[in-house]
Chains A and B, each alone.
Chain A
Amino acid sequence: EPEVTQTPSHQVTQMGQEVILRCVPISNHLYFYWYRQILGQKVEFLVSFYNNEISEKSEIFDDQFSVERPDGSNFTLKIRSTKLEDSAMYFCASSGQLSGNTIYFGEGSWLTVV
């Protein structure tokens, strides 16, 4: 079965450093998402992306965050100046249709900010 792949699986970074999390969505999908899950908490929506632009973002997705689809396969989340509270599991997801289709998630990238 096709799957969403994410790299790295785990990254430790110093506070204030920039981090880029990478995702390869399922190849024929058009809608892409980033979510995060702080340890022990619920999964939270960050941003959705369609047709090379952000279609929706949450309050969490402030100016320190950005997303990009630099080529036909990758979808990245950049955190410009990491803070301790950015430590979380970040999930990339994709779907084949805006509504009514399954949203498939990757295994996640665990970010630890020290």
Chain B
Amino acid sequence: SQQGEEDPQALSIQEGENATMNCSYKTSINNLQWYRQNSGRGLVHLILIRSNEREKHSGRLRVTLDTSKKSSSLLITASRAADTASYFCATVNTNAGKSTFGDGTTLTVKP
């Protein structure tokens, strides 16, 4: 399996519910970033969490990082139909600064 694998692959919820997406990775990282992508559009940066951080909040987003388990989670609270998109985690390693993306989770929020 590859660096930055998200699960589930697809998630469908009702508006107002919370959505949790997970990401696992294999090698050491400097930081981990979450992105949103609407169909056919660019990657919108959501949040960056550094390897020495455990949790970070931004509005309705909460990201956790467990470096011992090499995993991260993204929680979107009180979801809205506009949150419908694909969500990717991307790890940045300690050397070159490139991002390695996972396959993404496709979130559908039904009104």
Contact = CB atoms under 8 A, between A and B. Distances in A.
Interface of A: 31, 33, 35, 42-45, 48, 55-56, 89, 91, 93, 95, 97-108, 110
Interface in B65-105: 88, 90, 92, 94-104
B42 A105 contact: yes
Contacts, number: 68
5 contacts: A89-B40, A93-B43, A98-B97, A101-B48, A108-B41
Contacts of A100: 30-31, 50, 92
B30 A99 contact: yes
A31 B102 contact: no
Contacts of B40: 89, 110
Contacts of B95: 56
B42 A56 contact: no
Interface residues of B, number: 26
Contacts of A55: 96-97
A11 B97 CA distance: 29
A56 B96 contact: yes
Max chain A C-beta neighbours (<10 A), residue from B92, B95, B98: B98
Given A44-B101, A45-B99, A91 B42 contact: yes
B106 to A, nearest CB: 11
Contact of B98 (A45, A91, A101): A45
A37 to B, nearest CB: 9
Given A31-B97, A45-B98, 4 more contacts: A56-B95, A100-B31, A102-B33, A103-B92
Contacts of A35: 99, 101
Contacts of A101: 48
Contacts of A44: 101
Contacts of B50: 100
